[in-house]
Structure 1
């Protein structure tokens, strides 16, 4: 092959490499900028009147909470999934947990709450809600589902929850994102990592992890890794047979296990 042809091939190869690197960097930049749109999927509120809503006392947003008031010492705070309208759980929770005051947080941007969701903003709201509830209910159970399991476990490491229930929980969102996007440096790009494992070994509150047998979103291995970070005797794992990630709440075992964990 002539030197001229070799030179042309070399330039073409170099051009191809430059294009591939440029596209990769552009995709990294897009992931950095738009990542929260891949984590949070705000939903409108389907159920709720002024009698079943309160506004959380925070300075920088109007954060709504679906409630079922109840006098007495016991309350339940619920944090939902990333595409969940938590108000839909209010009727079934009200019927199943008659002795609990219920507080279901609508994340910023969800269900009429103002603002935009982020891990730190949601966590500040979670702490504010707990403090408000705990002032009138000394026994507060904290429940988190899917994305909300990361909110719940961190809250329980900061405040005196009486019980902790984690539904379809994960070890960390960073771990899940790295599995979903293996060719990208997720560790350096991800802003909201929801590292549940960091808080597990701090907890002494009785904790129940509930997994779906056929969870197609959060691998059982991630849930089991999280379980391994708890001190011995603090947490237990229950698996609902036949359930998927989104269908777990349709199982007859779902509310039964929640009730046993309270």
Structure 2
């Protein structure tokens, strides 16, 4: 499981070591690095940084065939919910799901979802 910036190592491990895990959970993960860097104040254009220079999360998720759960906040102010939708669309996993937490933002996702957050994960790993 990887949350936010932790989605980078989670996707890296999932794409490299699929025989060593049972599934992938991404919460508030970023599909594209350049927009996130821009949001954080990095002038990627001036530095000549493109998506090809970054994490390549779309390429990585396309190689993960293990069950995949994507959780994202409806009002994430750092990483748009469309990134979660891109992950879902590009995942080749036979078992995959997207859970959008209504009314939550990037840092309130667990507080807003409450028990349903854990129920979603439990249902994913037990079915």
Which one has the largest radius of gyration? 1
**Deviation (angstroms), 1:201:** 0.9
- Give the counterpart of 1:202 among 52, 60, 63: 63
Aligned to 1:85: none
Gap runs ≥5 in structure 2: none
Change (3 A) 1:226 1:178: farther
More relative contact order, 1 or 2 (CA 8 Å, 6+ apart): 2
Moved over 3 A (4+): 178-184
Other structure's SS at 2:37 match: helix
- Aligned pairs for 1:217-256 (under 5 A) are 217-231=78-92, 233-250=94-111, 251-252=113-114, 253-256=116-119
CA contact (8 A) 2:25 2:68 kept: yes
- What's the Cα RMSD here? 2.4
Aligned length, in residue pairs: 119
Show CA shifts across 1:69-121 (max 9, x none).
Answer: xxxxxxxxxxxxxxxxxxxxxxxxxxxxxxxxxxxxxxxxxxxxxxxxxxxxx
The two structures have a TM-score, normalised by structure 2, of 0.78
Q: Which has the higher strand share?
A: 1
Other structure's SS at 1:170 match: coil
Change (3 A) 1:194 1:187: farther
Gap runs ≥5 in structure 1: 1-142
